[in-house]
């Protein structure tokens, strides 16, 4: 009963998933721009992809963002940690688990496409161990102890499934002004394909 | 789009000023009614614009993707939020920041909104506003509520209204000011916001305050209403007042503001602004948007007649106690420091010393400096906004201002704290040196997000910043202080007219393909409140603009005479020599397989490729139209040279002739039966290109054709220095539009 009440208190909408890249210190993102333009031409994700915002000039910024209607894709350098990020903008039906999975799948599929794109060489490769999960809505999920307590069981259940029962750690963003963020770190590295398989 | 939208009104109940809360409720209802089809799309367009909710590029649901024009199908189907503006298409939210003044809590609110509703970036504009891009219209009421809770409004940030009242960001701490204009600018902002006399303008109205006449921080000379602080002694006592200017503005054709009154007492500025607003509302153009700014009204009436009408209006104005109440405490207004003043450190790292050199400025108050945070292209991340809030709280009483150079300043920094402030800013990625120098390029959004953009101003600016930063320490001292400003089109949002080197986007054809270009504008002046405007010299392909900068700065550094300014260097060198210096850069690439010319900075899509076919290079084939348009450009250049030489009549006549030649070139696409008779050329042009709208710019409509028609009507009148100058600018825009028209006819390009 108690858990049920807590789960009702937090609705995980607008989930962001960021896959931290191997070479996360620095990377030239210019080759990414024609790739994202091609994604707009081909619309490969099933979501409506619209435009590109280029913030390469901003230190520790959003990098290059592929703006979509349902969600944005980016190679994001926030906190000087380069990662492939999916930012779900449109509301999603279903459970919190469904929404976590949707965002993770979107990020992992995008990451695989980038890894496989010959124009990017080996520059953009998933590090295999670190995944950041944000809830991009401060009203639904203020960055507070209460949110953390309410979200933690579902995030751990998600991590358990994602990392196939291997050891992992979860840490949370401590600056209350920032978005609610959980950082999942697996003891064992996985490829994007393996994680996609985990999600079924 | 956000699930939480419905809950924010309840959450913020009691935290928003009642009037703002009510306004947002009304706006939200209007959006709902539009979704139900009960509000006309034109009405909802102006309604949202007046609340700062702007359209963005591709919001008609179409985008040229490099191969073809791609149509987007949105979930809301054909529902629109304005003519040809799809409901679901992302848009821009402009946020008014009066006088650029912000506190730490407001920075944190902006950070939250940038993350939750935009793309993580807040953009500082050249009018001290903040913009968020890619915002869904259904999120905008929540954005407004959260801003209202932080005491910020977006009301009248766009639309035909009084825009943000800007002010010198150094007001109160500047060494050269007459007095602090901050409280007066805020009083005007408050007084004119939503004022009934300001609701029926044909176009926008931009006020600005400067604390002195010699610096450009407030840019009074290029505003609809510009007020410069002055003092005079009356009966042995110093009195405050404002040198008041009206009718300035950049836009396609820049106008210098005219002096309205050399000394307006503080308790008269609000009724005077109200009277001007009344005259503008009553007499300003309403139908023809291209002639609807107050500068045209003043040009048509003459400043004397305009002044007479305003003073007559002032006499009849019913008294409003707020005229004096709002400025009553202005003389005692004072900001205070958080920490005691101190001495500047004598030592520090090289990076620190470089930063101190350009990013700090001594205050009039001993022991304190203003620190400028140079934002690349005006962009700041959510994390940086929060860090800046922390720094402002730690070192100041949250005395933060946005600037018209798209930066942010922290005032009242104790010199004793400079090392720690630099360290804290550096940790946040906010300690880039070179504020206000050549590397601190100012730019409008251009083709990145603006519907009017022709060339990628941000792409070019980022490239210039990168290249100049790489060699900034090798640059000659005289070059380091120059200003570069870039606009994506002729509308001057990047303020290219008041830069040492200004650039604005135009399109041209090269080798049969449409190619992004920038018109090079030289000789403008940033100092003295932006008091003189540059003139276009030559259009150069985007990809060659860095070389233009390199050549001009190299020549300036090498041949500068006795502390000569760049403006004087340009004048001394002369248009003929400047054009000779640059004209090889305007030619098609030597290697026809070099496709880089046909792409813009940061955008791999090729212009025009879809119709011409890959690899088909028609470089050798130059049509008669190309030749004639080139000849029109040449004539216009001669007009500019004549104007500079003081041959005003000849300048005006030649500029008019260049327009006729360009018009005739287009007419000859359809018929060879056209003589050199101006009457016949204009008649044929009107029938074939104006009435059919073939000449119409996608956004400016028939504005540029009107320049030709007006020039013909006035062709018998004697030219003045001002009128010839305006005609030259108009001829340039007409010829640019002729190029665009020809490009559209020959190679349809979706930009």
Q: Domain extents for chain A? A: 2-195
Q: Would you state the structure tokens that stand for residue B434, as one six-digit string?
A: 């070179």
Q: How far apart, in whole angstroms, are the C-alpha atoms of residue B140 and residue A159? A: 35
For residue B643, pLDDT over 60 is answered with yes
- C-alpha torsion B279→B285→B287→B288, nearest 10: -160
**Contact yes or no for B11 and A139 at CB 8 A:** yes
Q: Taking Cα atoms as reference points, which of B732, B737, B735, B726 lies closest to residue B300?
A: B726
Instruction: Give the pLDDT confidence score for residue B621 in this predicted structure.
Output: 39
If phi > 0 it is left, if psi is from -120 to 50 it is alpha, else beta; for residue B256 that is: beta
Provide the ipTM: 0.96
What's the whole-number mean pLDDT along residues B582-606? 85
**Contact yes or no for A59 and B121 at CB 8 A:** no
Indicate the residue of B70, B90, B116 with minimum beta-carbon distance to A137. Answer: B116
DSSP state letter for B69 = E
For residue B508, pLDDT over 90 is answered with no
Phi, psi angle pair for B658, to nearest 5°: -65, -35
Indicate the residue of B1, B58, B89 with minimum beta-carbon distance to A89. Answer: B1
For residue B169, pLDDT over 90 is answered with yes
What's the whole-number mean pLDDT along residues A30-55? 95
**Contact yes or no for B88 and A69 at CB 8 A:** yes
For residue A197, pLDDT over 60 is answered with yes
pTM: 0.89
SS3 content of chain A, % helix, strand, coil (to 5): 35, 25, 35
- Band of residue A1 on the pLDDT scale cut at 50, 70, 90: very low
What's the whole-number mean pLDDT along residues B484-512? 90
For residue B17, pLDDT over 50 is answered with yes
**Contact yes or no for B121 and A57 at CB 8 A:** no
Q: B707-716 long-range CB contacts below 8 Å, 24 or more apart? A: B707/B659, B707/B731, B707/B733, B707/B734, B708/B659, B708/B660, B708/B663, B708/B682, B708/B734, B709/B682, B711/B655, B711/B656, B711/B659, B712/B656, B712/B678, B712/B679, B712/B682, B715/B656, B715/B678
For residue B346, pLDDT over 70 is answered with yes
Q: How far apart, in whole angstroms, are the C-alpha atoms of residue A185 and residue A187? A: 7
Pair type for strands B599-600 and B603-606: antiparallel
- Band of residue A26 on the pLDDT scale cut at 50, 70, 90: low
Of A77-86, A183-192, B573-582, B613-622, the range with the lowest mean pLDDT is B613-622
In angstroms, the Cα distances linking B503 to A75, B184, B455, B735 are 31, 34, 10, 17
Half-sphere exposure of A45 (CA within 13 A, CB side): 30
Residue B182: enclosing H or E segment and its boundaries?
A: helix B182-192
Rg (alpha carbons) of chain A, rounded to whole number:
16
Q: Would you state the structure tokens that stand for residue A116, as one six-digit string?
A: 């496989």
Instruction: Give the pLDDT confidence score for residue B236 in this predicted structure.
Output: 94
Q: Taking Cα atoms as reference points, which of A72, A63, A77, A74 lies closest to residue A23?
A: A77
**What average pLDDT is seen over chain B?**
91
Instruction: Compare all CA atoms of chain A with the CA of B56 and give the residue at the minimum distance.
Output: A51
Phi, psi angle pair for B101, to nearest 5°: -80, 125
Interface contact A90, partner B, CB < 8 A: yes
Chain A residues whose beta carbon lies within 8 Å of the beta carbon of residue B135: none
Q: What is the DSSP string of B310-364?
A: HHHHHHHPPP-THHHHTTTTGGG-----SS---PPPS---HHHHHHHHHHEEE-S
Under 8 Å CB pairs connecting chains A and B tally to 123
For residue B741, pLDDT over 80 is answered with yes
CA angle, B36 then B40 then B45, to 5°: 105
In angstroms, the Cα distances linking B153 to B129, B204, B494 are 11, 17, 24
Instruction: Give the pLDDT confidence score for residue A7 in this predicted structure.
Output: 43
Instruction: Give the pLDDT confidence score for residue B68 in this predicted structure.
Output: 84
What's the whole-number mean pLDDT along residues B577-596? 86
Instruction: Give how far A83 is from chain B: nearest CA, Å.
Output: 15
B466 compared with B527, residue with greater pLDDT: B466
| pLDDT digit string, tens, across residues B50-81 | 999 999 999 999 998 877 889 999 999 999 99
Indicate the residue of A11, A90, A177 with minimum beta-carbon distance to B1. Answer: A90
Chain B residues whose beta carbon lies within 8 Å of the beta carbon of residue A139: 4, 7-8, 11
Q: Taking Cα atoms as reference points, which of B71, B74, B77, B86 lies closest to residue B137?
A: B86
Indicate the residue of B74, B108, B604 with minimum beta-carbon distance to A69. Answer: B74
- Which residues, at least 6 apart from B200, have a Cβ–Cβ distance to it below 8 Å? B281
Q: How far apart, in whole angstroms, are the C-alpha atoms of residue B618 and residue B597? A: 15
The H helix count followed by the E strand count for chain B is 24, 26
For residue B218, pLDDT over 60 is answered with yes
User: Look-up: residue for tokens 């869904």?
Assistant: B136
Other beta carbons within 10 Å of A168 = 18
For residue B613, pLDDT over 70 is answered with no
Considering Cα of B596, then B600, then B602, then B603, what sign does the dihedral take?
negative
| pLDDT digit string, tens, across residues B659-684 | 999 999 999 888 878 888 999 999 99
**Contact yes or no for A55 and B121 at CB 8 A:** yes
- Band of residue B43 on the pLDDT scale cut at 50, 70, 90: confident
Q: How far apart, in whole angstroms, are the C-alpha atoms of residue A50 and residue A43? A: 9
Instruction: Give the pLDDT confidence score for residue A123 in this predicted structure.
Output: 76
- Report the residue of A10, A48, A59 to disrupt the B interface, i.e. the one with the largest count of B CBs within 10 Å: A59
Chain B residues whose beta carbon lies within 8 Å of the beta carbon of residue A69: 72, 74-75, 88
- Band of residue B492 on the pLDDT scale cut at 50, 70, 90: confident
Instruction: Give how far B382 is from chain A: nearest CA, Å.
Output: 9
List the domains of chain B with CATH numbers.
5-149 (no CATH), 174-332 (3.30.413.10), 350-427 (3.30.70.3340), 437-609 (3.30.413.10), 622-751 (1.20.120.330)
What's the whole-number mean pLDDT along residues B175-181? 95
- Report the residue of A177, A179, A181 to disrupt the B interface, i.e. the one with the largest count of B CBs within 10 Å: A177
B206 compared with B250, residue with greater pLDDT: B206
Burial class of B237 by CB neighbour count within 10 A (0 to 12, 13 to 18, 19+): exposed
Chain A residues whose beta carbon lies within 8 Å of the beta carbon of residue B605: 37
**Contact yes or no for B120 and A78 at CB 8 A:** yes
DSSP state letter for B597 = G
């Amino acid at each position: 009963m108690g858990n049920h009440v807590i789960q009702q208190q937090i609705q995980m909408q607008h989930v962001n998933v960021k896959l931290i890249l191997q070479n996360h210190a620095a990377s030239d993102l210019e080759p990414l721009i024609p790739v994202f333009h091609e994604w707009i031409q081909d619309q490969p994700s099933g979501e409506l992809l619209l435009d590109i915002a280029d913030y390469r000039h901003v230190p520790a910024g959003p990098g290059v963002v592929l703006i979509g209607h349902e969600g944005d894709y980016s190679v994001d350098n926030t906190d000087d940690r380069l990662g492939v990020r999916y930012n779900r903008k449109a509301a999603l039906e279903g459970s919190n688990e469904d929404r976590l999975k949707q965002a993770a799948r979107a990020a992992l599929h995008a990451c695989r496409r980038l890894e496989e794109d010959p124009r990017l060489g080996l520059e953009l490769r998933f590090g295999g161990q670190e995944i950041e999960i944000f809830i991009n809505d401060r009203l639904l999920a203020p960055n507070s102890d209460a949110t953390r307590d309410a979200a933690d069981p579902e995030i751990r259940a998600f991590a358990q499934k994602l990392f196939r029962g291997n050891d992992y750690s979860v840490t949370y963003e401590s600056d209350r002004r920032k978005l609610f963020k959980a950082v999942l770190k697996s003891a064992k590295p996985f490829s994007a394909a393996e994680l996609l398989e985990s999600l079924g | 789009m956000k699930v939480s939208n419905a809950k924010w009104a309840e959450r913020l109940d009691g935290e928003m000023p009642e009037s703002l809360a009510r306004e947002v409720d009304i706006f939200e209802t209007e959006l709902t009614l539009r979704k139900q089809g009960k509000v006309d799309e034109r009405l909802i367009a102006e309604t949202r614009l007046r609340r700062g909710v702007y359209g963005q590029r591709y919001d008609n649901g179409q985008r040229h993707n490099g191969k073809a024009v791609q149509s987007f199908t949105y979930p809301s189907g054909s529902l629109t939020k304005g003519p040809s503006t799809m409901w679901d298409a992302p848009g821009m939210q402009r946020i008014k920041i009066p006088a650029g003044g912000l506190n730490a809590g407001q920075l944190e609110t902006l950070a939250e909104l940038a993350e939750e509703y935009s793309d993580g970036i807040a953009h500082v504009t050249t009018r001290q506003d903040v913009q968020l891009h890619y915002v869904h219209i259904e999120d905008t009421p929540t954005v407004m509520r959260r801003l209202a809770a932080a005491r910020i409004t977006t009301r009248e940030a766009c639309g035909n209204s009084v825009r943000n009242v800007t002010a010198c960001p150094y007001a109160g701490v500047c060494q050269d000011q007459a007095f602090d204009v901050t409280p007066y600018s805020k009083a005007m902002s408050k007084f004119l916001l939503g004022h009934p006399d300001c609701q029926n303008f044909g176009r926008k109205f931009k006020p600005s305050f400067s604390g002195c006449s010699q610096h450009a921080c407030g840019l009074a000379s290029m505003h609809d209403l510009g007020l410069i602080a002055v003092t005079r002694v009356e009966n042995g006592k110093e009195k405050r007042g404002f040198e008041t200017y009206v009718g300035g503005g950049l836009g396609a054709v820049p106008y210098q503001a005219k002096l309205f009154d050399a000394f307006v007492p503080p308790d008269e500025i609000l009724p005077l602004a109200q009277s001007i607003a009344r005259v503008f509302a009553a007499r300003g153009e309403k139908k023809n948007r291209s002639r609807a700014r107050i500068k045209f009204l003043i040009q048509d009436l003459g400043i004397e007649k305009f002044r007479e009408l305003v003073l007559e209006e002032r006499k009849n104005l019913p008294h409003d106690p707020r005229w004096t109440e709002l400025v009553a405490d202005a003389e005692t207004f004072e900001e205070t420091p958080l920490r005691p003043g101190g001495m500047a450190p004598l030592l520090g790292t090289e990076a620190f010393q470089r930063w101190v050199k350009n990013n700090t400025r001594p205050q009039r108050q001993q022991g304190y400096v203003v620190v400028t945070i140079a934002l690349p292209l005006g962009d700041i991340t959510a994390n940086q906004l929060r860090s800046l809030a922390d720094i402002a709280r730690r070192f100041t009483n949250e005395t933060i201002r946005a600037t018209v150079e798209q930066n942010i300043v922290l005032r009242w920094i104790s010199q004793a704290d400079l090392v720690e402030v630099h360290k804290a800013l550096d940790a946040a990625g906010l300690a880039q040196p070179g504020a206000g120098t050549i590397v601190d390029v100012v730019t409008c959004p251009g083709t990145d997000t603006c519907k009017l953009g022709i060339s990628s101003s941000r792409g070019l600016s980022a490239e210039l910043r990168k290249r100049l930063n790489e060699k900034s320490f090798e640059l000659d001292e005289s070059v380091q202080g120059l200003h570069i400003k870039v606009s994506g089109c002729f509308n001057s949002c990047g303020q290219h007219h008041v830069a040492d080197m200004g650039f604005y986007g135009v399109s041209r054809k090269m080798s049969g393909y449409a190619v992004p270009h920038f018109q090079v504008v030289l000789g403008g002046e940033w100092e003295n409140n932006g008091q003189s405007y540059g003139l276009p010299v030559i259009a150069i392909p985007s990809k060659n603009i860095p070389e233009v900068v390199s050549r001009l700065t190299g020549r300036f550094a090498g041949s500068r005479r006795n502390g000569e300014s760049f403006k004087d260097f340009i004048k001394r060198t002369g248009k003929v020599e400047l054009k000779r210096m640059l004209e090889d850069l305007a030619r098609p690439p030597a290697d026809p397989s070099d496709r880089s010319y046909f792409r813009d900075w940061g955008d791999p899509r090729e212009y025009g490729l879809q119709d011409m076919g890959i690899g088909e290079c028609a470089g050798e084939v130059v049509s008669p139209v190309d030749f004639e348009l080139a000849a029109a450009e040449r004539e216009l250049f001669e007009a500019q040279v004549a104007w500079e030489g003081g041959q005003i009549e000849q300048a005006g006549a030649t500029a008019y002739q260049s327009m006729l030649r360009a018009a005739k070139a287009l007419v000859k696409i359809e018929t060879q039966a056209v003589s050199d008779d101006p009457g016949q050329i204009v008649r044929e042009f009107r029938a074939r290109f104006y009435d059919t709208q073939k000449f119409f710019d996608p956004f400016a409509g028939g504005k540029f054709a009107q320049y030709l028609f007006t020039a013909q009507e006035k062709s018998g009148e004697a030219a003045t220095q001002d009128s010839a100058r305006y005609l030259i600018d108009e001829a340039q825009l007409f010829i640019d539009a002729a190029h665009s028209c020809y490009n559209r006819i020959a190679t349809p390009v979706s930009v």
